[in-house]
Structure 1
Amino acid sequence: MYSRDDIKNAIINGKLKIHPFNEKSLTGIGYNISTTHFALSIKSGVLLNVSKKTEAEGFTYYVNIPANDTVLFFSREYIETDDTIAGTFHSKVSRVCQGLSHISTTLDPTWKGQLLISVNNPMSQSVRMELSPNGNILTMIIQELETKVTGENIHNNNKGRCDLLRSHFMRAKRSIFHRKKQLELEEFIVNEFADSLNGYDDFISEEKTDKYTKVIRDLQILKTRLENHRTLIGEHRYSIGSEGKYRILRDADERELISNCVIARLKQITMEDLNQEYTKMEIEQKSDSIIKEIDKYLFIIKYELEEINHSRRIGWQDWVIEERKYISYRSVLSKYLTGRRVEKYIIVSIITAITMWACIYIVLKICGTTEIKPIKILQDNISALTILIVSLIFNGIVEIVRRIVRRFFS
């Protein structure tokens, strides 16, 4: 079983990839997995609504998992293993204490892709689950195999298990409430989302401006130069002046660029460690060792570009899910009409109805129409029902206004 340091070393040695890697998600013996905003209700066949709450540290996203429902999530993390390691997934105690249960599964050798994770809520009321990027759903345990796996068909699972999603939609019943959204969601999953899960998208070459743009450009320039130097040094064609020196990384900017990469941070490489210099004679006599050093930098750059590509990928996945609204109106209402919130809403509405009834009686009494007694109003079903309906509508409007004011002025 791998410790946290073993997991770091496995990444450094190329046996394991975790994108995006977050050191806060490391535990003593594992790595905590988090989720994207993809949350598919098995019962309704549509995505759950993702709510956003403003807190001191920033935004917190969460979903309300309906009672007696199983929800399918996709991990934020892209996991890749070689043929010498495998893993298992274990529920987090914080989720179990909420009443949620994760359906355990395994991580096969040579797996590549995001993970499909199922969470069940067996309780009679909905449960709120935060979609934190710091490992919110389960813990991945990595183990070393005594002998590496050989042969073909080590596993028959495609990336992201889109095959399971497609089979789900083939079996799912179409309801009049969700039919349109189910069809739209199925079309999205089978095409765009499947391409994203299978890694057919390329967010490195995409022309966009964000926090990664400059880093990508600088890494690609450095990568091209180092690949060229590797060829020239290997063929003994690299030339410098007799008194000159060769530096793999030319200046402080390049050294800082590399030192901020995931692999460099895991190796705890400092700026001073990146300041190697070689004379003309050393280039001629130690070309093999210099090439090995260049290969280390190329590995760091490759891993970092993959890291950025997947970070952009999950950003796109969350954005497109939010933008296209593959949810039903029931999912939107569920965050208001579930559990204690429903009880509070009904109680407040009943109190409001009684207050309105009392006010009507007082007004009638002041006006001298005392022959209309409270009992007559209650006996008139239409009047009582009207008062209750008005009360429900009034409290609904108050709740909506309260939420709007809190969102824009808090």
Structure 2
Amino acid sequence: MLEGRSGIRPITTFDVSARRARQAAELSDFDPAAFVHPMKLRRMDEVGALSVATARLALESAGLPRTSEGHDDIGVVLGTSTCGVHSTGEFLDRLLELGPAGAPPMLFSNTVGNAAASLIALEEKLRGPNTTVSYKEASGLAALALATDLVRAGKAGALVTGGAEDIYDLYFEVHDWFGVLSHDGAFPEGARPFDRTRNGFVMGEGGFVAIIEERGRAEVRQAPVLAEVVGLGATSGLTALNAWPTEAAPLVRCMRAALEEGGVTPAQVGAVYAAANGSVDFDRLEAQAIAEVFGGRPVRTTSVKGAIGEGGMSGAASLVTAVLAAGRGVVAPTAGLTDPDPSCGSLGWVIATPQSLESPYVLVNSFASGGTNYCLLLHIN
């Protein structure tokens, strides 16, 4: 991410020869058997195995390893927009082709949207609250916001939270039919957020998970405290179900709500991790909203989606990237940005190379098609 390299490549896992869009940010070199026993893997689909693996890495990083007893006060809040879709499609294909006797029963438990969160709890023996959030592209950051509220309210000691997503061929084809995907035939053009040549977003998959808990609890355990959520905003816009936001006002209100809850002025913010994904009108709208919130003051702005694509995990990916990059004192660049679009306003502040983070406050945006908006304001330790 810090090198500005993109994970977007020509699709290899299914046939796209008849499609306009032929690229995605596919997960590579992931071995689920390193995290889940092969016998159990037979009962998990791709996003379930990915979620379990990512959750285990996060728990180990936070000094919360697996125990035979498990944890009564640790739960799961997972954001995903495709969990269950892959298994549902495969189950229905077999049902229609072979009849009820040919439908594999092991697939059925994965056809529900909360399967991945439940698998995390089962594998790690987490008996706290278990919730799945599905707000399309805003799912991952919405899950982090809900987890923050639950910990603040004392409903859980700690929560495994973030987003996980996989790419399913039928889901990809539907988006291609809508004409919303970047349709360049070859890498390295990719998604190109804020770039003059952008022409749509690129689908991505992966898992991005953090542990949210009260600072005092983490410090007693001598866990590494990477950042604090100091403010959150949530709004919605009157947007068509499959359309990106068309009004700046809900985006502006969402960012301002996060800043106001954190008691932070726009001048104190060191970076914005934007929701921009390469969609022509949406990127321009978010740029205008950021300019309004910050009064035209240049603030270092970036998007992770030129590197990892768009999906229900992308808001969580923005937050995880923001925190880890800030730990090195920098803001990660926007992969694919070579020719900033002047129609997005004065874009000297959208960065294509790593830049120093000059304030501990970072704003993370996640705006979804259909009009769901979330923003989290972080204070980096």
Q: TM-score, normalised by structure 1?
A: 0.22
Q: TM-score, normalised by structure 2?
A: 0.23
Greater RCO (Cα-Cα under 8 Å, separation 6 or more) = 2
The higher radius of gyration belongs to 1
